Structure 1
Amino acid sequence: DGAAIDASQVEAALAGLDGLIEDAMARTGVPGAAVAVVYDDAVVYERAFGVREIGKPDPVAPETVFQIGSVSKAISATTIAAVVGDGTTTWDATIASLDPGFALADPIAGSQVTVRDMFCHRSGLPAYAGDDLWTTFGYGRDETVRRLRFVPPAAPFRAAYAYENIGLSAAAYAVARAAGQPWEDLAEGRLLARLGMVDTSYRDADFLGREDRATPHYRTRDGVWTPGELSDLSATAAAGGVSSNVRDMSRWVRLQLAGGTFDGQQIVASEPLLETHRPHILAEEADPLTGLATFYGLAWEIEYDDRGRLLLRHGGDLSNGFRTGVYLLPAAGLGIVVLTNAWPNPLRDAIPRAFLDTVELGAPTQDWVGEIETITTAVLSQMFAAPFPQGAPPADATPALPLDVYVGAYGNDLFGTVTVQEENGGLTMALGANADASSLRHWDRDTFSYPLTGSAAAMYDQFGVVFTVGPDRQASALTLPALGGDTAATCARAATDS
């Protein structure tokens, strides 16, 4: 079989893996990384590099815990596969049947959307639907999921792929409800504990309580890595809230490659687990890195190489400063995990691609670090296109109207209440359940801006607030150009405040 991989090829590639990683870290300045390789149901490589926090001596170790971002989705899919195998539910159960309170703006989609649909991102919701609800407006898990019903669909039900977090999390929480447990307890008891993943958790508090944990880092505008703020990921824990280390992750990779068995025990039934590895929808006609079509399974990105072999992968991105990835080549029993404490950086894809090339061909086929760095920069510049207003206010700005014109409560069904108050001769704005009010700076006539902090400030100068003022010289609405996508970012003045 020309597509076969043998132990000698893996051993030869492993001999050069330290050098690949060290070179990539030297080129990018990534502070810390940990890497594990599984082959033939054994951990054949487990190494850590660099430091947990830049400027401090504590080294990264195989036990060092990272937040792994959206790789959590694949672990959540494994948990649900276990529950499906137990007979508690099915991949095709509707979310509304598991959680009668669930709804979407499209009533047909809301009644028919299944766990499977959400885990392959074909619900009709727009990409990253409602993420602002928890990241910016401060809503908790239940309220974030409830407000999903106010997000207008972007495509017909099951007609298109659009990657998002809240819908997938809602499906996971509905499965947990059917199992009679909170999601965190279900995942721990049904999967993590059985695999001996003792340092892995969906709880933010567990990550914060680890003494040996990595600090996130983001790149400032002048290219310097600096420690980032920690994220509260509890609202969408199933989509992005796992913290783990390469020692635990390699156990999960072994389970994936062995069809649900671990150390001779069937932990997850093979059929529902293998269903997660099956293509469900076309995600991208031509991946910018490989030129190959990319499909999405149930929380797995899927491609086929030039020999027709299935390659499973998923990445995790937390813009406060973590980037992670997992690559699996099931036919060869081969998998690799890469965890880094810096965002953005190319290692989570470059190291697996270079390693798999070396296994197959004896050397990398291209400069994966440089190529992925270029593509990542282009993709992120498009994703984070600077919303109005950026830079400095215009020199000839028109003065604002008296501040009481803008003061009041505004809102819409999706985001809730936005409160604008006059304080100390200026305006402040509070968003939803977020207790931290932002000071508004005048920009031009009825447009104001508010400052950003931490990693967000490395991407944008500020975000804007545009008031709509009628002939009665009172603001009737405000728009937040950076949030919510189109009209969802417009909030009308509350009727009791007019």
Structure 2
Amino acid sequence: MKKSHLFSVLLLLLFVTSGIFAQKNQGIDFNKLDDYLAKSLEEWHIPGMAVAVVQGDSIAFAKGYGIKEFGKAGKVDSKTLFSVASNTKSFTAAALSQLVDEGKLDWDDKVIEYLPWFKMYNNYVTGEITVRDLLCHRSGLKTFSGDLLWYETDYSQDEVIKRARFLKPEYGFRAHFGYSNILVSTAGRIIPELAGMTWQNYIRSHFFKPLGMTSSLLSVNELKDKKNVAIPHHVAEGKDPLPIKYMQWDNAAPAAAVISNVEDMSKWLILQMNDGIYKGDTILSPAQVYEMHSTQTPDNLNPGWASYFPGQHFNTYGLCWSLFDYKGVKVVNHSGGADGMISQTMIVPEKKIGIVVLTNSVNYLPTALMYYVLDDYLGNPDNDWSAFFLRVKKYMDNLDKQDREKTDKERIPNTKPALALKNYTGTYGGDLYGNAEVKIKDGHLVLDFLPSDVLIGDLSHWQYETFKIKLRHSPTLPEGTVTFILNKEGKAEELKVDIPNPDFDFTELVFKRIK
């Protein structure tokens, strides 16, 4: 997402919707919330959604809306399973906090004390990076760097982590926030070294079982015999939702593997906002909950965003929790995104209130609903956050359209590739990702990313040595380009891939001719 444009439109829309911050009595009107959720689902054309609100030590509201899969009759309810994606990270941090309390670990221990084979691009960072650094995203890597290593590849978790040493940092060590799935997965890899069990077994035995999260799962493979499951969808502009398959997270499980429902996730939020105590049992120590909910890495609060949210003054990251203030209260929250699914969790510990939103398409509605519940509880029930974020989406979609039109307009027509197609074929590769193969199929070039069974793209000539690429099995990713670099002998010696999207950076992959 082009954040600078997003913040500009937020600032613009401030003047359209100003005057909506009049204070009223605290509390949530659940009948009104129910109507708002149903209306918002329809406005966003989301197939299905489940929402729960927690207050104190109980679930105050839990309900499903819409359908589990487009074109089928099954309805979403409060027990329907969704991928919660990055909301998994708080489980990993909590597991490590228990090991800290047991004296087996310190947050500021060096990672190489437990994983001596772990390396970063810079030798100094390798020797200094701590468990805390892994969980609060301050390694120097840019956001989502290296995520193509685990995305639908046959690499194991350890192999993904080992390849992190080839990721060039964008920032100085501990100098900037940069969200890293791979490094949270690395933190989770420490758990079996100290606990004598897999990450999966630890999460089941230490959290799912004592909290009664009986429906929650830790792998897509566990969905096989489940019936009440929401299916992810890709929703293209002007088209019906397209059901797609679940993302496989096994090789980055501690970062995003949990599959759950709003009833189970509500229990997790109740634990978090009650200082680690659930139904009288202390599962997490209050001291460690405080640590996880405390600022570790500052993240800039853009002026455009701050202008629209005058009640917000800071934005930071704790240990696998995002933190900000809003109208005098501290908000602890996290989002989760997978192919065809978006989730949001949020608690206000001092008010003992929280919300979990699970949806089966990619959209901004979970964020909108977080603010709606905050405002309703804090006395501003007239804010229509769904409508606001719909305007943001429309603006962003229009920017994307303009970018595509600009690219088309700048294309130089009637050019031809310098070489015959067969001379582009071969195997290209690099240390970071591994190999890709270019071959001819039905008269056109095909690019096959060999570590993945999913990333296969058909190439069509665009201009000079640049070809358009459309991935066959990844409807959530747009068209991109593949550009061949010729050496002084006129032979293709390298290819560069650019598929612009907010999640996976194809430009950091290096593919030089091997054969």
Equivalent pair of 1:315/1:325 in contact (CA under 8 Å): yes
CA shift at 1:347, angstroms? 2.4
Equivalent pair of 1:63/1:212 in contact (CA under 8 Å): yes
Match of 1:466 in 2: 483
Aligned residue runs from structure 1 range 318-329, under 5 A? 318=338, 320-329=339-348
Aligned residue runs from structure 1 range 186-225, under 5 A? 186-225=202-241
Cα deviation code 1:52-73 (max 9, x no counterpart): 1122111111111000121112
Say if 2:511 is the partner of 1:491. Answer: yes
Say if 2:281 is the partner of 1:262. Answer: no
What's the secondary structure of 2:210's corresponding residue? coil
Match of 2:461 in 1: 442
Aligned residue runs from structure 1 range 20-419, under 5 A? 20-135=36-151, 138-286=154-302, 288=305, 290=309, 292=312, 293-307=314-328, 309-318=329-338, 320-344=339-363, 346-361=364-379, 363-364=381-382, 366-376=383-393, 395-419=413-437
Give the counterpart letter for 1:315 in structure 2: S
Give the counterpart letter for 1:306 in structure 2: K
CA shift at 1:389, angstroms? 11
For the residues of structure 2 that align with 1:148 and 1:162, how far apart are their CA atoms?
14
For the residues of structure 1 that align with 2:143 and 2:401, how far apart are their CA atoms?
13
CA shift at 1:369, angstroms? 0.7
More moved, 46-55 vs 424-433: 424-433
Equivalent pair of 1:128/1:164 in contact (CA under 8 Å): yes
For the residues of structure 2 that align with 1:381 and 1:70, how far apart are their CA atoms?
28
Give the counterpart letter for 2:335 in structure 1: G
Seen in structure 2, the aligned counterparts of structure 1 residues 379 and 235 have a Cα distance that, compared at 3 Å, is farther
Give the counterpart letter for 1:206 in structure 2: E
Seen in structure 2, the aligned counterparts of structure 1 residues 31 and 421 have a Cα distance that, compared at 3 Å, is closer
CA shift at 1:85, angstroms? 2.3
Give the counterpart letter for 2:320 in structure 1: A
What's the secondary structure of 1:184's corresponding residue? helix
Equivalent pair of 2:428/2:435 in contact (CA under 8 Å): yes
Cα deviation code 1:400-432 (max 9, x no counterpart): 412332222221111111222344544332214
Seen in structure 2, the aligned counterparts of structure 1 residues 478 and 215 have a Cα distance that, compared at 3 Å, is same
For the residues of structure 2 that align with 1:385 and 1:233, how far apart are their CA atoms?
34
Cα deviation code 1:273-320 (max 9, x no counterpart): 22110011211223726253211111111111232x2111111122x2
Give the counterpart letter for 1:358 in structure 2: D
Equivalent pair of 2:192/2:198 in contact (CA under 8 Å): yes
For the residues of structure 1 that align with 2:427 and 2:402, how far apart are their CA atoms?
29
For the residues of structure 2 that align with 1:37 and 1:254, how far apart are their CA atoms?
10
For the residues of structure 2 that align with 1:184 and 1:458, how far apart are their CA atoms?
28
Match of 1:421 in 2: 439
**TM-score, normalization: structure 1?**
0.89
Seen in structure 2, the aligned counterparts of structure 1 residues 329 and 101 have a Cα distance that, compared at 3 Å, is same
Match of 2:494 in 1: 477
For the residues of structure 2 that align with 1:376 and 1:279, how far apart are their CA atoms?
30
Equivalent pair of 1:76/1:172 in contact (CA under 8 Å): yes
Say if 2:26 is the partner of 1:13. Answer: no
5+ residue gaps, structure 2, are 1-22
Seen in structure 2, the aligned counterparts of structure 1 residues 271 and 172 have a Cα distance that, compared at 3 Å, is same
Seen in structure 2, the aligned counterparts of structure 1 residues 248 and 431 have a Cα distance that, compared at 3 Å, is same
For the residues of structure 2 that align with 1:140 and 1:385, how far apart are their CA atoms?
40
For the residues of structure 2 that align with 1:142 and 1:206, how far apart are their CA atoms?
22
What's the secondary structure of 1:191's corresponding residue? helix
Seen in structure 2, the aligned counterparts of structure 1 residues 188 and 383 have a Cα distance that, compared at 3 Å, is farther
CA shift at 1:325, angstroms? 0.6
For the residues of structure 1 that align with 2:207 and 2:460, how far apart are their CA atoms?
50
Equivalent pair of 1:324/1:339 in contact (CA under 8 Å): yes
For the residues of structure 1 that align with 2:401 and 2:117, how far apart are their CA atoms?
34
For the residues of structure 2 that align with 1:479 and 1:167, how far apart are their CA atoms?
26
State percent identity of aligned pairs.
Answer: 27
What's the secondary structure of 1:298's corresponding residue? coil
Equivalent pair of 1:400/1:442 in contact (CA under 8 Å): no
Seen in structure 2, the aligned counterparts of structure 1 residues 412 and 384 have a Cα distance that, compared at 3 Å, is farther
CA shift at 1:100, angstroms? 0.9
CA shift at 1:387, angstroms? 9.2
Seen in structure 2, the aligned counterparts of structure 1 residues 141 and 70 have a Cα distance that, compared at 3 Å, is same
Equivalent pair of 1:442/1:448 in contact (CA under 8 Å): yes
More moved, 36-45 vs 417-426: 417-426
> What is the RMSD computed on CA atoms of the aligned residues?
2.8
CA shift at 1:113, angstroms? 1.1
For the residues of structure 1 that align with 2:405 and 2:66, how far apart are their CA atoms?
39
Give the counterpart letter for 2:207 in structure 1: L
What's the secondary structure of 1:135's corresponding residue? coil
For the residues of structure 1 that align with 2:446 and 2:138, how far apart are their CA atoms?
39
Seen in structure 2, the aligned counterparts of structure 1 residues 176 and 59 have a Cα distance that, compared at 3 Å, is same
Equivalent pair of 1:14/1:45 in contact (CA under 8 Å): yes
For the residues of structure 2 that align with 1:115 and 1:76, how far apart are their CA atoms?
11
Match of 1:431 in 2: 449
Equivalent pair of 2:232/2:341 in contact (CA under 8 Å): yes
CA shift at 1:188, angstroms? 1.2
Cα deviation code 1:214-257 (max 9, x no counterpart): 01122113253222232112222222221000110111111111
Give the counterpart letter for 2:222 in structure 1: D
